[in-house]
Amino acid sequence: MKTKIIFTIITAFGMIWLSSCNNSANPHNGNKTSTTAQNPDSVLHYPQEKHLANIKQLTDKGDNAEAYFSFNDSMIVFQAKVPQWGSQCDQIYYFPFSDGDMMTQMPKLLSNGLGRTTCSFFMPGDTTVLYASTRSGGDACPPLPEKRADGKYVWPVYPDFDIYVADLNGNLIDTLISGPGYDAEATISPQGDKIVFTSDRSGDMELYTCDIDGSNIKQVTNQLGYDGGAFFSPDGTKLVFRSSRPKTKEDIKVYKDLLAQGLVMPTEMEIYICNVDGSDLKQVTHLGKANWAPFFLPSGKKIIFSSNHAGTRGFDFNLYMVNLDGTGLERVTYDDTFDAFPMFSYDGKKLIFSSSRNNRGARSLNLFIADWVD
């Protein structure tokens, strides 16, 4: 969503503990104020998670995120960096639920191992997938930014990201959206007629929509800041997204200076909604810290998202629900580590998300699927 480069938010937040925790073998050791008495390294389902039932873990190694259902709910497409699968940086995979499980076998690679990839999504008909890739800039994984002297985390906005379409064998069919600069974070309306994506073609990180064939591109947002990770409402009339919008002169300068270097600092984000044409823009959350990876509930009346606003360590993200007007905030997951990237199946019965729960001390982020309970 979602992030697209959004996946590197895992590095910004969810994986901070990989380099900064005192106990690199088990970052939870030493935390004596856990919200539960259970060790998150071995918990699949917390008793407080009343909206989730029959949770199943789908992967068991590496970093797996941004899993999205096919229109018929029989498959998922996702991005992962799993050394055992041969990926040196984020690559796109797909998995049909009828084909066993990914705990014992490798899913199908769609992105050919070229460049860094992100933000995959099934196209209407479920025979093709779109995703963003830096492959136009070379076959190798592009470098990550060097660690800053001030210790603040930044992540790259690669100008080589374009949006491609491939079939389920990984054959590249089309370059859907391209041009100078960053084009990524694409998702498709439930009606299958529109695409929303993030681009810096205006000089800032804004949302755009286009028709399903990549034509008729229209700018949606136009305020300074990084708008991204957008999804359509179930009826296709609204967009939900996360944004980091600097307000003070100092923050504006920092944002512009970083963007000129192809960098952003995703540590302060809130959830917004608007109509598909950008009208009736509203800020939904005012929680502080990082609120991101939003997705509409099947009713279209609530939003589920990931947040660390109640956390104390930066990387402790959980899923929350909120009404479109920002009221009725409700916690959904109770993990002590990292839960994010939620998506509902099109029939509204399943929720898939990424989590570092039940990793048994490993530094991994895995996919989980659950029945949704209203």
What would the pLDDT profile of 240-259 be if each residue is shown by its tens digit? 999 999 999 999 999 999 99
Residue 362 has pLDDT above 90, yes or no: no
Three-state DSSP state, 340: strand
With 0.75 as the threshold, say if the pTM is over it.
Answer: yes
Integer Cα distance of 241 and 273 in angstroms: 6
Integer Cα distance of 143 and 361 in angstroms: 28
List the strands of the sheet with 318-323, edge to edge: 291-296, 302-307, 318-323, 330-331
Q: Please say whether the beta carbons of 190 and 255 come within 8 A.
A: no
> Any idea what DSSP says for residue 305?
E
* pLDDT, mean of residues 53-64: 96
Question: What domains appear along the chain, each with residue ranges and CATH number?
Answer: 5-20+49-372 (2.120.10.30)
| Residue 369 identity (one-letter amino acid) | I
What would the pLDDT profile of 273-299 be if each residue is shown by its tens digit? 999 999 999 999 999 999 999 999 999
* pLDDT, mean of residues 330-344: 95
Integer Cα distance of 112 and 139 in angstroms: 10
What would the pLDDT profile of 159-208 be if each residue is shown by its tens digit? 999 999 999 999 999 999 998 899 999 999 999 999 999 999 999 999 99
What is the phi-psi region of residue 81: left when phi exceeds 0, alpha when psi lies from -120 to 50, beta otherwise?
Answer: beta
Q: What is the pLDDT of residue 38?
A: 64
Share of the chain above pLDDT 90, in %: 79
Residues 6+ apart with CB under 8 A from 145: 154, 155, 156, 263
Instruction: Please report which helix (H) or strand (E) contains residue 120, including its range.
Output: strand 117-122
